[in-house]
Amino acid sequence: MANPSVNRLTPLLLAIAVSVVASARLTHGEESAKKINFVNDIVPILTKSGCNAGVCHAKAGGGQNGFQLSLLGFEPEQDYQTLVSQGRGRRLFPAAPDTSLLLQKASGQVPHGGGIRLPRDSDGYAMLRLWIEQGTPLSNADDPMLTHIEVVPPSSTVAIGSKQPLRSIAHFSDGTTRDVTNLALYESNQDALAEVSEEGVMQVHDIPGKVAVMVRYQGRVTVHNASIPLSEPTTDPLPETGNFIDEWVLANLQSIGMPISDECDDATFLRRVSLDIAGRLPTLAETRQFLSDENPDKRSVAIDRLLQGGDYADYFANKWTALLKNRRDEASDITSNFAFHAWIRDSLLANKPYDQLVRELLAASGTVLGNPPVAWYKRVKEPKQQMEDVAQLFLGVRMQCAQCHHHPFESWSQADYYSLSAFFTQIGRKPTAVRGEDMIFHQRGMAEAKNPITGEVLRPVALGDSVGDIPPDADPRLRLADWMGDPNNPFFAKALVNRYWKHFFSQGLIEPEDDIRETNPPTNPELLRALEDHFRSSGFDLKELVRVITNSRTYQLSPQPNKQNVVDRQNYSRFYPRRLQAEVMLDAIDRVTESQTSFANLPIGTRAIALPDNSYNKASPFLRVFGRPEGLSVCECERVRSASLAQSLHLMNAKDIKAKLSAPNGTANRLAKDSRSIAEKIDELYLLAFSRYPTPKEFQTAQSYLGEPRNSADNKPLSQEAALQENLQDLIWALINTKEFQFNH
pLDDT at 696 over 80: yes
Q: What is the pLDDT of residues 386-436, one digit of tens each?
A: 989 999 999 999 877 666 555 555 667 788 888 898 899 999 999 888 887
User: Rounded to an integer, what distance in angstroms lies between the CA atom of residue 275 and that of residue 281?
Assistant: 6
Taken in order of first residue, the domains within the chain and their CATH numbers are 18-133 (no CATH), 146-228 (2.60.40.10), 353-485 (no CATH), 662-744 (no CATH)
What is the band of 88 on the pLDDT scale with cuts at 50, 70, 90? low
Report, as an integer, the average pLDDT of 74-87.
68
Burial (Cβ within 10 Å: 0-12, 13-18, ≥19) of residue 705: middle
pLDDT at 24 over 50: no
Report, as an integer, the average pLDDT of 566-585.
93
Torsion-angle region of 427 (φ positive above 0: left; ψ -120 to 50: alpha; else: beta): beta
Looking at residue 631, its pLDDT comes to 87
User: Rounded to an integer, what distance in angstroms lies between the CA atom of residue 668 and that of residue 735?
Assistant: 13
pLDDT at 32 over 70: no
User: Rounded to an integer, what distance in angstroms lies between the CA atom of residue 310 and that of residue 316?
Assistant: 10
User: Rounded to an integer, what distance in angstroms lies between the CA atom of residue 520 and that of residue 512?
Assistant: 9
Q: 3-state DSSP call for residue 710? A: coil
The DSSP string of 235-263 is: -SPPPP-SSHHHHHHHHHHHHTT-PPPPB
Q: At what angle do helices 266-278 and 310-323 cross, to 10 degrees?
A: 50
Looking at residue 6, its pLDDT comes to 36
Looking at residue 40, its pLDDT comes to 80
The DSSP string of 465-505 is: B------TTS-HHHHHHHHHHSTT-SSHHHHHHHHHHHHHH
Average pLDDT, the chain: 86
Report, as an integer, the average pLDDT of 680-689.
96
Pairing verdict, β 177-179 and 167-172: antiparallel
- Least confident range from 303-307, 330-334, 352-356, 455-459: namely 330-334
pLDDT at 57 over 90: no
pLDDT at 606 over 90: yes
- Percent pLDDT > 70 in the chain is 87
Angle CA(688)–CA(692)–CA(697) in degrees, nearest 5? 110
User: Rounded to an integer, what distance in angstroms lies between the CA atom of residue 319 and that of residue 330?
Assistant: 22
Whole-structure pTM value = 0.84
Bridge partners, 442 (sequence order): 427
User: Rounded to an integer, what distance in angstroms lies between the CA atom of residue 321 and that of residue 613?
Assistant: 7
- Least confident range from 289-293, 435-439, 642-646, 727-731: namely 435-439
What backbone torsions phi and psi does residue 170 show, to the nearest 5 degrees? Answer: -95, 135
- Mark 150-180 as b/e (b = at least 16 C-beta within 10 Å): ebeeeeeebeeeeebebebbbbeeeeeebeb
Looking at residue 121, its pLDDT comes to 79
